[in-house]
């Protein structure tokens, strides 16, 4: 049986960076599934596809090849073989990813690709529906969260480092808006799976968050 670790949670909970470190410590791969929805959102923006038009976005998704590569610098996300990794972290693309991820046809295709990538492979996956839909039989399931303010603060710090100029209030508003959309969509909304362990990182630093997850994984693997 392969070792699979499913991590879900809201915006800015630190899923991706924590998952990356957990994977590194365990010597396994990490798949950031949000990057795939981001790649599709970016493509829709670039091609001028109306994000509110479910049919058009679904058609675009069906005709777009989203793939990932794992390199020494981490995951690279590709659209039609072209590396889009540097362009998918803006606020505009974040919101677009959240919007295109509402559509059943988009989710079906993305989930299928993710399941294929994880098939028979030791892997950490992070996203919104990993515990519930992508890997319902994962070795360990975690719901990673923190208070709205703390998540916005971390995101704001990260954006500042990259030279973005949004105010803290703007980032907090974006975090709440995106959570609202991700938690209330009709298909596979973000929620804590009944069998997922809750890890609240409001009061935890990065190393403590990684340690908390590794502890849960250890318990699940060795009882
Ligand atoms: O994790 P992230 O912020 O990079 O994800 C971007 C958006 O993609 C998120 O707002 C909702 C969507 N998403 C999803 O619906 N399911 C996933 N497994 C991962 C992300």
Residue 10 to residue 146: CA distance in whole angstroms: 8
The rounded distance, in Å, linking the Cα atoms of 32 and 38 is: 10
Amino acid 76: pLDDT: 97
* Ligand 1: centre distance to CA 133 (Å): 13
pLDDT mean across residues, the chain? 96
Best residue among 109, 128, 151, 171 to mutate for probing ligand 1's pocket (most ligand atoms within 8 Å of CB) is 128
pLDDT of 203 over the 80 cut = yes
Cα(118) to centroid(ligand 1), Å: 17
The protein residue with its alpha carbon nearest to ligand 1, atom 14, reads: 128
* pLDDT band (50, 70, 90) for residue 164: confident
Give the pLDDT confidence of 104-134 residue by residue, as tens digits: 999 999 999 999 999 999 999 999 999 999 9
| 190 pLDDT tier (thresholds 50, 70, 90) | very high
Residues with a CB atom less than 6 Å from ligand 1: 11, 33-34, 37-38, 94, 97-98, 101, 127-130, 178, 182
Helices (H), 119-166: 148-161
Ligand 1 atom nearest residue 95's Cα? 10
Q: Is the pLDDT of residue 211 over 80?
A: yes
- Chain position carrying tokens 């798949």: 31
Residue that is written with structure tokens 């690279």 in the block: 76
For helices 34-47 and 104-118, the axis angle rounded to 10 degrees is: 140
Q: How far apart are the C-alpha atoms of 10 and 33, rounded to whole Å? A: 13
Q: What is residue 17's predicted lDDT score, i.e. its pLDDT?
A: 94
The predicted structure's pLDDT at residue 105: 98
Q: How far is the CA of 214 from the centre of ligand 1 (A)?
A: 23
DSSP 72: T
CB 198 within 8 A of CB 183: no
Question: Taking 90 as the threshold, does the pLDDT of residue 79 lie above it?
Answer: yes
Contacts of 89 (CB under 8 A, 6+ apart): 38, 162
Virtual torsion, Cα 9, 12, 14, 16, nearest 10 deg: 80
Instruction: Locate the ligand 1 atom nearest the alpha carbon of residue 185 and give its number.
Output: 15
What's the token pair of residue 172? Answer: 């907090």
The average pLDDT across 133-142 equals 98
pTM: 0.96
Local confidence band at 73 (pLDDT 50, 70, 90 cut-offs): confident
**DSSP H/E element including 132:** none
Supply 116's token pair: 């294929």
């Amino acid at each position: 049986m392969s070792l699979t670790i499913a991590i879900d949670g809201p915006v800015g909970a630190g899923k991706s960076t924590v998952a990356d470190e957990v994977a590194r410590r365990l010597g396994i791969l990490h798949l950031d599934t949000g990057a795939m929805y981001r790649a599709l959102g970016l493509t829709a923006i670039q091609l001028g596809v109306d994000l509110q038009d479910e049919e058009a976005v679904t058609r675009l998704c069906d005709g777009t090849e989203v793939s990932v590569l794992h390199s020494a610098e981490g995951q690279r996300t590709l659209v039609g073989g072209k590396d889009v990794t540097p362009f998918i972290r803006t606020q505009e693309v974040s919101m677009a990813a959240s919007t295109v991820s509402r559509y059943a046809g988009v989710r079906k295709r993305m989930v299928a690709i993710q399941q294929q990538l994880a098939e028979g492979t030791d892997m950490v996956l992070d996203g919104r529906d990993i515990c519930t839909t992508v890997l319902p039989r994962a070795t360990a399931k975690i719901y990673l969260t923190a208070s709205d303010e703390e998540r916005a603060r971390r995101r704001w710090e990260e954006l500042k480092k990259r030279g973005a100029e949004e105010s803290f209030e703007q980032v907090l508003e974006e975090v709440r808006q995106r959570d609202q959309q991700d938690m209330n969509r009709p298909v596979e909304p973000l929620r804590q799976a009944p069998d997922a362990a809750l890890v609240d990182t409001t009061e935890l630093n990065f190393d403590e968050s990684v340690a908390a997850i590794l502890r849960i994984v250890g318990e699940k693997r060795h009882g």
